[in-house]
Each structure stands twice: as structure tokens, then as C-alpha cells.
Structure 1
Amino acid sequence: MGRITIILLAAIMLSCSSNHGNKITQDNFGIAPDGSPVFLYTMKNSNGMTVKLTNYGASLVSIVTPDKDGNFADVIAGFDSLSGYVNDNSFIGVTVGRYANRIGKGKFRIDDNEYQLTINDGNNHLHGGVKGFHKLVWDSDIVAGDTSSYVVMKLRSPDGYEGYPGNVDVEVKFSLNDNNDLVIEYTGSTDKPTILNLTNHAYYNLSGNFENTILDHILTINADNFTPIDSELIPTGEIAPVDNTPMDFRKPAAIGARINDDYTQLKYGKGYDHNWALNGYNGKVRKAVTVTDPESGRVLEIFTDQPGIQFYSGNFLNGTIVGKGGIKYNYRTALCLEPQFFPDSPNKDNFASPLLRPGELYRQKTVYHFGIMK
């Protein structure tokens, strides 16, 4: 067998999954500011569902799914070109780290050492800092497995980066199956005690039309409690019941039904921008959230092994971000659902700890299932 034939066979193996014909392809997406090549990966299953992602920020670029009438549309915000991701400051579609969400005053202690992180959100640290994982080019590849193929992205974060201790190695695997499940699996290790808390920051609108708001979307969150915040959006440390508050989504409710209630927490967040303490946290994957759009019939179910999830109702979108097809992302036209450790958990002893020590392995698995209302 000649060398050219071997190369062609290898290329075919990389682009075709053995999971019932699912395919993954790689295309050029541009050159990053540091000169690194950036790629666009396309995953497509036998149902026609398509997911695109890029190794710039390990970001989701598009998720195209059918509505109740079989019409396909893109249900996440994003950009047509690399420059959009380079210039974006709203974390659209990205993998955020080392620490998703906020850390009060950017400070925390491990053992006898205090660490000061970059301040990039008022007086606080947000989503890994000014140049967190979302602004880096990840090493990436297509991996052809025995039962499925996936895209793997890897990154080394050096000791002291954005103020975090330890050389940290992280890996994120993206896969799509014929059940219309987008599966994201994260792992991480360190050579010095540190904190690690990764998530994806996609902005969803299940109508597929980002001129619509998400206020008519119906939301269910499997959580009896949430973590109240102060005026700087930092948790107070309380884990409070959702009973008799606008934070109660244990039964399906329209996002817009109570979003403007005279309630201090909603005033602090200018809407929903809070962490819910998910029920049944034991390190195993369980159902966390269901979102439906009654008009299109699309449904998103999220299953995760994380203790919390941040629900953000697009309160700071103001039309200044121009996305795919020239669409302007306006007020509350998209929502985020971010599985995570609780915000500021390094400073709250009663929150599940994000501490990672040498010899330990950080793991997270989240499944995003896209379906149709029955």
C-alpha cells in the first residue's frame, strides 16, 4: 500500500465516525492574533443535526436543530468569522476557565497562601480573567474511536497565569450522537494546589430567530435552592430556598413571567443572573434543566454532574454585538445555562470545593439533548 493511499485512508477515518455514519470535518477558520492557525470543526449526525466549534476558546459556533415541523435553524449565538470571537467580550459560546463565574475581589486562599487574580469585572474576577481560556488557541484534533468520533481540545495553563497557581493541563472532548446529544467532557490536572471550574458559555434562543426574546421560553430547573447574591453579583454564602420566590422553576414557568417582579435578587442581577444549587449532587450525571420554546417546539434538556448551574437571561445584551448574518443581539434575546461549581466557592466553606491538588483529576460531564415537544 502506497504512502498516498495510507494518508487518504487516514483522512477518511478522521472525517467519518463509526457511530452510525456521523461525520466530523475540519476547515480553516483563520489566524489568531498570536499567529496560531485556527480551525472550524463540523459534526453532523444521521438526523441532520449539525454542531460547529472552533479551537479558538474551545468555542461552540453553531448548533443547528429541527423544529416541530422539521425546519432546521441555528439555536446559539455566535460569529461568522474568527474576528468576532477575537473581539468579543461577552464570552459567546466559549469554554471559560480556569474558573467559571465570579470570585469576590479576585482573592482566595489555599493552605497558607493567598492568591490575587486579575480583576476584570468591577471589583471582582470573572471567567478566568482578561485573557482566560476563552482568548487562547487550543491544540485540537479529530479522534476516531471504536464506537464514535469526537473533537478533542487541549491546553496548558502555566503557573501564575492570570494569578492562578500551578501548571494546569486541561482537555475538553466534544461529541455528537444520533440521539441528538451534544456531550462535553472536561478533565484537568495540576502540579500545585489550585482551583479549577470549567463550563461552556453558549447563548441559546430555541426559536432559532435572535430577533425574538427568550421571555416566552419555558424553563424548569431541578433545584430547591439557589445562592443569593449581593449588589456586585457575588454570593452572600447563603443557600436559600426558592419557595415563594421568582427563583422557583421547579415547575415549568415562562422566563418572563416574574422577571420584572419587585424582588431584590432580580434587581441586583437586572433579571436572572444567579446560580441554582442543583438537587441530587453526588458526582454523577443527572437531569438539571429543561427549556422549551412553545412556538418552535424545540426542547433543550441539560444533564450534568456539577453541583450548580448559572442561569443568565441576557440582561446585558444591548444590540452592540453583531453576530452571524449581521444579527444584533439585543436585550434578553438569548439565555445562558452554565453547569459549574458555585460562584466564589473558593471563599465559601459551605459550598462544594473546586480545589484540585496534584495527583487528582478534575472531571466534568455535561450532556445537552435537543428534542421536540411531545
Structure 2
Amino acid sequence: MDGIHFLDSLGGIPAADWDALVPDGNPFVSHAFLSGMEAKGCLREDYGWKPHHLGLFEHGRLVAAAPTYLKGNSHGEFVFDWAWASAWERAGGDYYPKLLVASPYSPVTGPRLLVPESPVAEVIRNRLTSALVDEADRLGLSSIHANFLTDADLDAFDDRWLARSDYQFHWHNRGYADFDAFLGALTSKKRRNIRQERAHAHASGLTLEMRGGDELSDSEWRQIHALYELTFDMKGNHAALTARFFQYLGRSLGSNVQIALARDAHDIVAMALFMRGGDALFGRYWGASVDVSGLHFELCYYRGIDYAIREGLARFEPGAQGEHKLARGFLPTLTHSRHYIAHDGFRRAVADALAHEARHREAYREELLTHSPYADR
């Protein structure tokens, strides 16, 4: 099997071949993470996910790839195109299925065009994006969406693709010796507020700790998943990740999965799940069965910052959205996506909407930075 192929599963691709294409150890495009979602019941057609991975093969071996899905809705993507879908369907078109290049349920910037660095890397990336367009046209799809792209991938998307950006809030390590050194870089008001929040959490009587995924028992993983599920249910959302997948993460990624826990005696009553890759920590899931002042901030943010400082990590990305993160040391950071719209008229309409969105986005950033938590802003 040589040339370009689209695959309905990663199950037949050797993990070593796929992971050799991931340049920075990003866990969200690792074979273990993506194939685990497929095998453990997280990606189903009735959830709107159908694997359709792009692979380039030479002499029967995978040499480049892109994690790709046929999507029957826009759930679990975090680059919101509901308005585009509604407009196209009101005009009589079928917006779904569409083609998505992404890591499922993961609003995390990372490699999407998996190409080893070489003198011909740019040529291969261009070949992958052209293959995506050819496939969408062959299937008669409305669009292709490539979300949370790295800078290395951006140049491969030519002017057929519309550019879109947004802001997340990321924490950056300035070489802090410890958490107190980080606090020392903040304004006095922000420093005082964080100390108060941490004090409330520590005064709760709960036992707070950070544990690696490989240190937890199956029973503890079941409790962690139940809290994740409970929080989604309370917000009226669907918890797509299964208990089997949570346990699998702990076994397959080990200490690259980190869990901040709050225990009442032996019972886990709150948790925040993180993943580590390269020089970064990524916050992903939160769940709690108790309402304790400051506990969410302690587990989701301050434990992550403290871990990143201890481990010498360059940054901590706590997840999508959330202006409240600014007051806790997280600064607005651009994320990038690219979008291929097949119909010329629809493409022009989306381009106009994106131009308006971009003007609003930059005004929003300037307003945010007037509220920087850092004393040397």
C-alpha cells in the first residue's frame, strides 16, 4: 500500500510508526490517545465522529499523516461553526458531514500535519493539504476544518483556506523558583486574592494531592470518571469519554497523566485531570461532588502551576475559554485554525464574517491586557 490513503481506524497502524511522526511528544495526537478513543467507545457515529485518517505510505510504511474525521455535527471541536452550518442549511445545503483535522474533544494546539522534519517536509505538508481538498471534493463535502494548528503547519494551508484565530489563556514560566516566586510577579491585589483562594481550599479539611495516572487503582479511576460525568450532567452536556478510556489513559500514558485530587477520608470528591507532553502541561477535565470555596481554582489552576514550576515546564494550558483565568496569571495567547469552504459564494460570506470577527478579537485582546495580573505589565 503506497501513496495517499484514508483509513477508518488507527488500529492497523503500528504505534511506533505513527508516533515517530509526532515532533514534540504532544499526547493529544499520540497513537495511544487517538486509538484509545476509538477502541474505548468515545468516538461513535451517533456522537458525530467517524475516523477518516489521512496517511501517506511509502514501501508499505506510514511516512506522513493527519488525524482526520468525518463529522456529523460540530460537538467536541471548540472552534465554533454552528452559525455557518445554520446559514448553509437555511440556504438548502448539507453542511454535514464535513471533514475535520483535529484531536477529538481537545482544544489544544498541536501538530496536525504529522511530517518528520526534513528538506522535503514542506512539500509533504502541502501534499497532505491538497489530498484533504481532493477528498472533500470527491465526497461532495461542504467544508474541511483544521483546528488548533502549530506555526509549523500554517504555511501548508494556501489561499483556498480561510484563516481564523482566537484566544486562550495560557500560563508561561518565567523561570520561577517556586509558587511564591510566581506570586511575587503579580500585582498585590491578585497575589492577595490567590492566597485567599488557596487558604479556603486548604481549610476545607479535605486531603489535597497530585498523583500520576499509573499510581491510581481501577477503583480510583472509576471515582474520577464518575466526577467527570457528574459535572457534565450538571451542565446539561454529554460526557463522551468512557470510564474504560480514563483507566486506559492511566495505564498507557502513565505519569504523563497527572490528577489533582481532593479526598474526604478515602473518597475522591473532586479532581482535575492534566496531561503532560513536551515542555507543557495541559489541563483537561474537572469534576466535583462537593462545593468548597476555592477548590476549583486550587485543583485546576494552582496545582497545575505548582507542578509546572517544579518540573521546569515552559507553559501550562488549562483549557478553552475563561476570562477568569486572567486574574490567576494566565495571559491571552493566539490559537489558529484553517477552513476550506467548497462553495465560492458561501466561502465569500464566511470570509466576510471572519474579517468582522478578527476586528472584534483584537479589540478584545487590547481590553484584556489592560487588566494584566502582572506587576510589570
Please confirm whether the aligned pair reaches a TM-score higher than 0.5, indicating the same fold: no
* TM-score, normalised relative to structure 1: 0.28
The structure whose residues are more often strand, as a share, is: 1
* TM-score, normalised relative to structure 2: 0.28
Bigger Rg, structure 1 or 2: 2
The structure showing larger relative contact order (alpha-carbon pairs under 8 Å, at least 6 residues apart) is 2
